[in-house]
Structure 1
Amino acid sequence: MGVGALPQRVTVRLRFEDGTLRVEHDGGGPPTGGVASLPGVEYDDRTETGRAPAMAYADLVAYLDSRGIPYEDDALHADSLDVESAYELRDYQQDALDAWTENDRRGVLELPTGSGKTVIGLKAIEAVGRSALVVVPTIDLLTQWRRELSREFDCEIGQLGGGEQVVAPITVATYDSAYLRADDLGDRFGLVIFDEVHHLGGEEFQNIARLLAAPARLGLTATFERPDNAHETVADLVGDVVYRLSADDLAGEHLAEYDVKRLEVPLTDAERERYEDAQGTFTEYLKQSNVQLRSGSDYQELVKRSGSDPRAREALLAKQRARRIVRESDAKVQRLEALLDRHRDDRVIVFAASTDLVYRLSERFLLPAITHETGTSERRDVLEKFRDGDYSRVVTANVLDEGVDVPDANVAVVFAGSGSEREFTQRLGRVLRPKSDGVSESVDSEAREATQSSLGGRALLYELVSADTAEERVADRRR
């Protein structure tokens, strides 16, 4: 037995306490030769016990088992579940679940929108057989997960968020609600599923994972990596990416085949003059101030500088003017009109860059609009009419990028976007309909099959890009 190791006769006691593990042993006393010798455990002078974050539970138990150290486990109070989903997994879904299982039920699955990540989550709950917490970023996803869980499993489904605070053996929570309740409920679940797991990279949300003792952890996303590299922290909290497929991997066999067409449109002479003037003001400031924008954090530093430097503020305002000119050019409006006419028999989603632009296009082309200002009932009504075919097109901003069960469309038009790979992937996913192969997805299968029969075989995404502008260079970088 090495220096500082626990004697084999000592019994270690584990207890959950306010998002931490309280670690005690029969000998008590200071850290030398005591609980602080255990991995991840530090001595707490206030309580004269060991202390570790709740997320260390699985590793600590594994260490005690491997060393044959006797312990009493009063830290995890996860109920057993006897549930079964009627879904039959596709081959790639089963491969993804197997990869997660073989990695000690920890890790992230990166799969494109429409590939059935929710179905894999349901099967993970079934396989683990312990109480489960599903954490989601939006109220829409909260509602969708609870609806799907209630349909598949014959047990009570709890909800934290959206006006409810009900805890059950299977509970769905928003990231905000989970953050507020994790220190209280961290011992109640054997499995935690983080949907759109990239959100866990937010500084406050990281604490959700730290305060939960759940040994089984599953992350689901279409785009794991974050520009700020916080995905590295997410990997520490949930596990590395253990299975990854792109839209290209599934297109044709499981998802609709698709084409991406970038349409370069010119600025008018008047727009070009205004753009060059505004963009020139911005680039000249960067040159004179020796500022290089290599990342999003560099841009944030420039924003901070604008609070005390009038020239920096003037440069940022000029950049905003330039960006608005290229995003909302007259030529783009004309090209959109031609596309809507060409695809009059298709179902089309138009993605704009701002709420104002959404309303402008909605009024110009009489398109139903969905923005962050759209009420829940109105948004539900628009999407239902889109699903039923009463509406054949809709215009929206970022609100449909993530967390909304969008009815099938086969054409998307990115009127204005960003260089974000995640944004582009999510928007492409809105037209990558799962192929009908007898496997139900997380929306009504009969409605999906009816929609598929009315749409063409290939999905199509158009990018409208203002030629010879910064927007063109941003699109090139994203590609």
Structure 2
Amino acid sequence: MTVRLAFEDGTLRISSDRESDPPLGGLPGVEADPRTETVRAPAHFYAQLRDVLRELDADVDDRISPSESLTLSTAYELRDYQQAALDSWVDSNRRGVLELPTGAGKTVIALAAIAQTGTPTLVVVPTIDLLEQWQRELETEFDVPIGRLGGGEQRVEDVTVTTYDSAYLRADELGDRFGLVVFDEVHHLGAEGYQDIARLMTAPDRLGLTATFERPDGAHEAIRELVGPRVYRIDVDDLAGDHLAPYEIRRIEVELTPEERAAYDEAQGTFVDYVRQSNISFSSGSDYLQLVKRSGNDPAAREALLAKQRARELMMNAENKRHQLARILDRHREDRIIVFTAHTELVYRLSERFLLPAITNETGASERREILDRFREGTYSRIVAANVLDEGVDVPDANVAVVLSGSGSEREFTQRLGRILRPKDDGGRAVLYELVSAETAEERVAERRR
């Protein structure tokens, strides 16, 4: 019996030279398609089907596997932990996720994996900034044309870098084009739409890169199925002092002003009273969604949500945080500092008050590049940003971070810490200041993210 595997619109079309050979019905993922009177499977089952057919000693007419073999090499020499990560991925049948801190060289490991695999490769990234960074790295390391999908270009080559958005739009078309797919910041793949990128591609070799694999919504389980399990993990503390800068986290509690305290207590009280009266526990994300739904037709629920927002803004933007920031900026006059906040409006107020270059989601790409270039070359020694520097941007070296406000996300906190952990030429220590409003819900937020 000869089994034929072909790719068609994001699926595997499976047929044999005899009309009803029993193995076809029992193959993993395979279902009958009455519209075309064939059997099909989702494209991501390709590697599994290929292995099963090999075990069955079937004669396979494989029209999917890329015929090209690329000769690639990289000038990077892997550190011991980077080599261990690559070896773990190879030992896991070249499928799986590597979890390493920001600044630990995940890109270097991926370049080594691409060179070692020697197969047409697609690199998927979340932002245009990362698209451009990866394009530069690939063009520097490999003497082959580099394709690009995104940012106004649609060019496919044996080695191509794409945004998640562009990959989503073209996955059913390009699904059999690559033997390896690298998902940078792979936690983004957990989004429902983006999962289709991996489902519609046949690539047997899959590599995910992230600083924080697990997602609060549990969508990392889908990533585990589509890319592979986490096969290597190393923490910041394992690398600090040797491969990353030694660091310390200084938590500073600030008091609300009497006016802020009165307004906070009133707003928080309105929220808490409604929650208690409504028997909402907030033990899961669905409880908050329930409150949001109620606010559509329940004025009291709407007022509770608005009160919660007022309380959050008061504790995150407390005036004494700005006084503490002034002291930190004065204490670290000779250092390179990034100030992180959760609100765009506060970024502009801090920028005006302390004459800090500001980056928000409203900052144009060219202006952002100019600010970061000047920070890199030393013209600027400090910048302030709202979320946009947390991930997906090549941020120049800094050694001091100040978190004025943020969410309870461990990923966000890890990314912000990672911005100051690249080894320093003088062997100096990195410092992250975390400013928290005392006796507010922000204390619980700070504990949660750590």
TM-score (norm. length: structure 1): 0.93
Deviation at 1:28, TM superposition (A): 2.0
Deviation at 1:366, TM superposition (A): 0.5
Deviation at 1:473, TM superposition (A): 1.6
1:478 pairs with 2:449: yes
Alignment of 1:67-82 (within 5 A): 67-77=56-66, 79-82=68-71
Deviation at 1:304, TM superposition (A): 2.2
Distance 1:78 1:260 in 2: 51
Where does residue 101 of structure 1 map in the other structure? Answer: 90
Alignment of 1:164-243 (within 5 A): 164-243=153-232
Paired letter, 1:474: V
1:459 pairs with 2:450: no
Deviation at 1:36, TM superposition (A): 1.7
Distance 2:68 2:354 in 1: 54
Deviation at 1:155, TM superposition (A): 0.6
1:469 pairs with 2:440: yes
1:335 pairs with 2:306: no
**Deviation string, structure 1 residues 109-153 (Cα, Å, up to 9, x no partner):** 000000000000100100110000000000000000000000000
Alignment of 1:53-132 (within 5 A): 53-77=42-66, 79-132=68-121
Deviation at 1:295, TM superposition (A): 3.0
1:24 pairs with 2:11: no
Paired letter, 2:432: L
Listed as ranges, the gaps of 5+ residues in structure 2 are: none
Deviates more, 1:73-82 or 1:363-372: 73-82
SS in 1 for 2:388: helix
Alignment of 1:27-426 (within 5 A): 27-29=18-20, 33=22, 35-77=24-66, 79-426=68-415
> In 1, are the aligned partners of 2:410 and 2:448 still within 8 Å (CA)?
no
> In 2, are the aligned partners of 1:136 and 1:172 still within 8 Å (CA)?
yes
Paired letter, 1:13: R
SS in 1 for 2:160: strand
Deviation at 1:298, TM superposition (A): 2.6
**Deviation string, structure 1 residues 316-364 (Cα, Å, up to 9, x no partner):** 1000000000111111010000000000100000001111111111011
**Deviation string, structure 1 residues 149-188 (Cα, Å, up to 9, x no partner):** 0000001000111000100000001000000000000000
Distance 1:430 1:296 in 2: 29
Paired letter, 1:319: K
Indicate how the Cα distance of structure 1 residues 301 and 76 shifts in structure 2: closer, same or farther if over 3 A, else same.
farther
Deviation at 1:406, TM superposition (A): 0.2
Deviation at 1:417, TM superposition (A): 1.0
Identity %: 66
**Deviation string, structure 1 residues 282-332 (Cα, Å, up to 9, x no partner):** 011100001111233332332222112211111010000000001111110
Deviation at 1:43, TM superposition (A): 1.3
Where does residue 2 of structure 2 map in the other structure? Answer: 11
Deviation at 1:391, TM superposition (A): 0.3
SS in 2 for 1:182: helix
> In 2, are the aligned partners of 1:28 and 1:49 still within 8 Å (CA)?
no
**Deviation string, structure 1 residues 386-439 (Cα, Å, up to 9, x no partner):** 001100000001100000000000000001111110000000000001x3xxxx
Distance 1:462 1:35 in 2: 60
Where does residue 448 of structure 1 map in the other structure? Answer: none
Distance 2:232 2:257 in 1: 47
Distance 2:449 2:356 in 1: 29
Paired residues in the alignment total 450
Listed as ranges, the gaps of 5+ residues in structure 1 are: 1-9, 436-451
Paired letter, 1:304: K
Distance 1:390 1:338 in 2: 22
Distance 1:390 1:211 in 2: 47
Distance 1:321 1:146 in 2: 43
Distance 2:390 2:73 in 1: 31
SS in 2 for 1:404: coil
**Deviation string, structure 1 residues 38-91 (Cα, Å, up to 9, x no partner):** 222111112221100110000000001111011100123353211101000000
> In 2, are the aligned partners of 1:16 and 1:76 still within 8 Å (CA)?
no
TM-score (norm. length: structure 2): 0.98
Distance 2:431 2:382 in 1: 14
Distance 2:220 2:297 in 1: 33
Distance 2:448 2:162 in 1: 36
> In 2, are the aligned partners of 1:27 and 1:34 still within 8 Å (CA)?
no
SS in 2 for 1:87: coil
Paired letter, 1:213: T
Distance 2:348 2:268 in 1: 26
Deviation at 1:34, TM superposition (A): 5.3
Paired letter, 1:24: S
